[in-house]
A and B are shown apart, each in its own frame.
Chain A
Amino acid sequence: MNKKNGNPMLQVEDIHISFGVLKALNGVSLEIHKGEILAIIGPNGAGKTSLVNVINGVYHPSRGHIFFEDKDLTTLSHHHIASLGIARTFQNVALFKGMTVLDNIMVGRNLKMGSNFFAQGIYWGFAQREEIRHRQVVEKVIDWLEIEHIRKTPAGMLPYGLQKRVELGRALAAEPKLLLLDEPMAGMNLEEKEDIARFILDANEELETTIALIEHDMGVVMDISDQVVVLDYGDKIAEGPPEKIRNNEKVIKAYLGTSAKK
């Protein structure tokens, strides 16, 4: 299965970013191709989340460039990048806790809704019709993630595993071209992890969403990803298909320390 055709969808070129004296990313480059699932792995503090934050505009790199579908994202603002079709989830779930699951996912749909503030006041019927159309998409997402039973529950009241699932739903409701998942399975039990892995694969295959994910569970990473990028202390130390990464000397060293060599 060769998904590498044409130009890469996302090109990260020589990104540098530092917080005070701490260099979070030190000249990292990578490419994500359309239709791919790319896993970003590395020990704690390797710069994985920083990389995701740079891609979706939370941080701006001090050096380097990011191109998404040949458009330079480097200096664009956070919400602007979202509107280009890049959605994300957060390491520590960032849901709208006071809002219902349904409302949370509807907000994710906001970008696709055309009618604005004034249209809603003046041309109410149109806004209403649009709302119904988008509601159908959202209901599909809800149905698909098997969270029908909690759609009217405030998100803050849900257990952690379900919150993560709702957050995934909110990101998918925007029908993103590129989906960034920051540890979508952290803190989950095996069964929950399998569910999420299935949703990720389905999103990739059925919705043709390109996905970049950060994950610590090596089993999952090796199973679902097409490409793996390994970071360590802000440097990219390896990249390639999972089977190659598994046996990479540098990677083993970064994870297990030098003593693992013998």
Chain B
Amino acid sequence: MIFAIEVAIGGLLVGVMYSLVALGFVLIYKSSGVFNFAQGDMTLLAALALVGFLTIFPLWLAILAVLVLMIALAIGIEAIVLRPLVARPPLALFMATIGLGFLLQGIGQGIWGTDPKGLNIGISDMPFEVKGLMVSQFDLVGAALSGALVFGLVWFFQKSKTGRALRAVSDDHEAALSVGIPLNKAWAITWAISGVVALVAGIMWGSRLGVQFSLSLIALKALPVLILGGIDSIPGAIIAGLVVGASENLAEVFLGPYVGGGIQTFFPYLLALLVLWFKPYGMFGREIIERV
């Protein structure tokens, strides 16, 4: 029993970091109706840049430098990629983000190389004991940091003036313009925020898995989370991240041995499929009811 709880806790802590990656998608989707295919590559780019900057700067300065880079990138993306595609079908924007993804990946690897790199931000990976339960210190820090960011973002989107404006933009472009919200600025802010999310995800996942191409595939982990939670729901991303994290860990440990292991990689998709069956918009997604 203790072991099962440990496994579940480990899963939940990883799940918070899934939520974080998924949140990057949700934010962009909510504000521009675009599924941002480049989110994984933004994570990779942030991690690569951080490793690169760490060779010349101390940690805090390196993080600051990447932060500036991600914000500059967001402004650039808005001006070069999004602005010319205003009022085009969402599919055009989606395709643009695929191209953007390849571009970012190429630029990142072109500058900082393709070989796997370690990222050490000074958090020990030794597990420690709480009331007889072994908990990974690294996962705990990762979860705390991700959790703080997630709740900060939720507060920002629900309560602040700018957050309200961004939600308005996501709901109706025309109406948002008519109340004086500049779309360009709103998009730049959203992409900057999702750049920051990519940075934190890049730090946490990069120091966990190493910084290399496969880091961009972290986006694939976010897919079942998005399907489960609903692609336009922030609380959905949080809860679904936890569900996916805990259930895949439990499934791996307790069901894995019967089917020869490796269940972790596909179990979340199985779960997502099941949810789609009953809730096509995810657990918390907004159901679109249209008159026909």
Contact = CB atoms under 8 A, between A and B. Distances in A.
Contacts of B125: none
Nearest to A118: B162
Contact of A79 (B162, B164, B182): B182
B171 A174 contact: no
Which of B162, B181, B182, B286 is most buried by chain A, counting CB atoms within 10 A of its CB?
B162
Interface in B147-201: 160-162, 164-165, 167-168, 170-172, 174-183, 189
A83 B179 CA distance: 8
Interface residues of A, number: 33
A107 B165 contact: yes
Interface string A73-84: 000011110110
Given A96-B171, A96-B172, A117-B189, A174 B179 contact: yes
Contacts of B160: 117, 120, 127
Interface size class on chain B is 20 to 34
Interface in A50-67: 56, 58
B178 A110 contact: no
B178 A56 contact: yes
A170 B162 contact: no
A76 to B, nearest CB: 12
Contact of B162 (A83, A111, A120): A120
A108 to B, nearest CB: 5
Nearest to B172: A94
B167 A96 contact: yes
B286 A98 contact: yes
B165 A110 contact: yes
B167 A170 contact: no
Contact of B179 (A111, A115, A127, A131): A111
A79 B177 contact: yes
A125 B232 CA distance: 30
Interface in A111-126: 111, 113, 115-117, 120
B286 A113 contact: no
A87 interface: yes
Given A79-B180, A79-B182, A111-B180, A96 B175 contact: yes
B179 A107 contact: yes
Contact of A113 (B161, B189, B232): B161
A113 B162 CA distance: 10
Interface in A96-152: 96-99, 103, 106-108, 110-111, 113, 115-117, 120, 127, 131
A131 B158 CA distance: 13
B163 to A, nearest CB: 9
B171 A98 contact: yes
Nearest to B165: A110
Contacts of A97: 171-172
A99 B162 contact: no
A95 interface: yes
Nearest to B159: A131
Contacts of A113: 161
B175 A95 contact: yes
Interface centre among A107, A116, A120, A131 (most CB of B within 10 A): A107
A82 B178 contact: yes
B48 to A, nearest CB: 28
Contact of A99 (B171, B177, B180, B183): B171
Given A103-B164, A120-B161, A110 B181 contact: yes
A90 interface: yes
A16 interface: no
A113 B163 CA distance: 13
Interface of A: 56, 58, 77-80, 82-83, 87-88, 90, 94-99, 103, 106-108, 110-111, 113, 115-117, 120, 127, 131, 170-171, 174
Interface of B: 160-162, 164-165, 167-168, 170-172, 174-183, 189, 232, 286
18 contacts: A56-B178, A79-B180, A87-B179, A90-B175, A94-B175, A95-B172, A96-B176, A97-B171, A98-B170, A98-B232, A99-B167, A107-B179, A107-B181, A110-B180, A111-B179, A111-B180, A117-B162, A174-B179
Shortest 7 CB-CB contacts between residues of A and residues of B: A82-B180, A96-B171, A94-B175, A78-B177, A111-B180, A107-B168, A117-B162
